[in-house]
């Protein structure tokens, strides 16, 4: 399961707290949430404070997010290494 909670939001930015696992079956949910925020003109910050697993498909999505300017907070070191 992946839970996405809006922690802080303004017209210019939003921080999304991620909790659980970033797996194939929840990729669309995360992608939809981030895309909606970006379409609204908000800078997206993902807080990985509650993430305990990221699948290879999740790494692909996070790589695309990073290229699109999404910021990461509390990103596990192993995920940071895989994104390089």
CATH code, domain carrying 6: 3.30.750.24
Domains in the chain, number: 1
Read off the pLDDT of residues 11-56 as tens digits, 9 standing for 90 and up: 999 999 999 999 999 999 999 999 999 999 999 999 999 999 999 9
Tell me the two tokens of residue 61: 């999505």
What is the pLDDT confidence band of residue 83, given thresholds at 50, 70 and 90? confident
Which backbone phi and psi does 50 adopt, to 5 degrees? -115, 15
Structure tokens at 78: 């192993």
Helix axis angle, 24-39 to 56-67, nearest 10°: 10
- pLDDT value, residue 26: 94
The pTM (predicted TM-score) of the whole model is 0.92
CB under 8 Å to 83, separation ≥6 — which residues? 59, 62, 63, 66
- Identify the domain containing residue 11 by its residue range: 2-82
């Amino acid at each position: 399961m992946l839970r996405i909670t809006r922690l802080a939001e303004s017209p210019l930015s939003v921080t999304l707290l991620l909790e659980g696992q970033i797996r194939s079956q929840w990729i669309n949910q995360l992608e939809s949430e981030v895309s909606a925020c970006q379409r609204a003109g908000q800078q997206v910050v993902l807080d990985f404070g509650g993430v305990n697993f990221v699948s290879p498909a999740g790494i692909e999505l996070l790589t695309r997010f990073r290229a699109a300017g999404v910021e990461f907070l509390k990103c596990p070191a192993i995920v940071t290494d895989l994104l390089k």
